[in-house]
Amino acid sequence: MLNIVIFGAPGSGKGTQSEKLIEKYGLYHISTGDLLRKEIKAGSELGKIADSYISKGQLLPDSLIIDLLAKLLDTTPETRQGVIFDGFPRTIPQAEALDTMLAERGTAVSAVIGLEVDEAELIDRLLKRGQVSGRSDDNLETIKKRLDVYHTQTTPLRDYYVENGKYKAIHGMGSVDTIFVSITEALADCK
């Protein structure tokens, strides 16, 4: 069973490549960003909390996100066929919680795909998306804040996964299809 973490800065192509990975490997897609945006749209209590963090470019508290993930894994039998974790984990405590949650279910992270993209390209992609997405976090001020948060809170995860031998660096610049070929090559020995 494949459990893939797709990892990278905001705008690195996590959501984009996840769509292609689902198609090829038949995995269940968990995007914490999508889950939170659904809660915001529904106007739930969690959505109100999420909105207050996302619109400022900040991460939600680890406890809220870990709880959300645990409930989803418990109530979604399809996750037992393998999962793409998109946008989770984003901090070391989230990564440790994921290892524990998967171990309790008799499985583990198979590989971490690290999409590596230049900062100018990240900003360019997110500003372009902002013209059509209507997302409260796709504006220059919030994008800069999200990149700061990524550098301080999320990049330490790279070392966490390099040390346990799971990290696969992928050059994330160029066409979506070329990047996808690099990802499938990196996953070839993981089946």
DSSP reduced 3-state for 9: coil
Q: Which stretch binds ligand B4P (CB under 6 A): 9-17, 22-30, 95-103, 160-168?
A: 9-17
Q: How many CB atoms lie within 10 A of CB 14?
A: 22
Q: Which stretch binds ligand B4P (CB under 6 A): 14-22, 98-106, 158-166, 180-188?
A: 14-22
Q: Which stretch binds ligand B4P (CB under 6 A): 20-28, 31-39, 104-112, 181-189?
A: 31-39
Active site residue 128: no
Note whether 8 and 66 are within 8 A (CB). no
Active site residue 80: no
From 14, 37, 125, 168, the catalytic residue = 14
Active site residue 14: yes
Q: Report residue 9: phi and psi, to 5°.
A: -65, 165
Note whether 87 and 16 are within 8 A (CB). no
From 90, 125, 166, 168, the catalytic residue = 90
Active site residue 105: no
Residue closest to ligand B4P, measured at CB: 33
Q: Which of 87, 166, 168, 182 binds ligand B4P (CB under 6 A)?
A: 87
Bridge partner residues of 116 (DSSP): 171
- CA distances 171 to 99, 168, 179, 182, 186, Å, are 26, 10, 7, 8, 11
Cβ nearer to ligand B4P, comparing 58 with 110: 58
Just list the catalytic residues: 14, 90, 129, 135, 146
Contacts to ligand B4P by CB under 6 A: 10-16, 32-33, 36, 53-54, 58-60, 65, 87-88, 90, 94, 125, 129, 137, 146, 176, 179
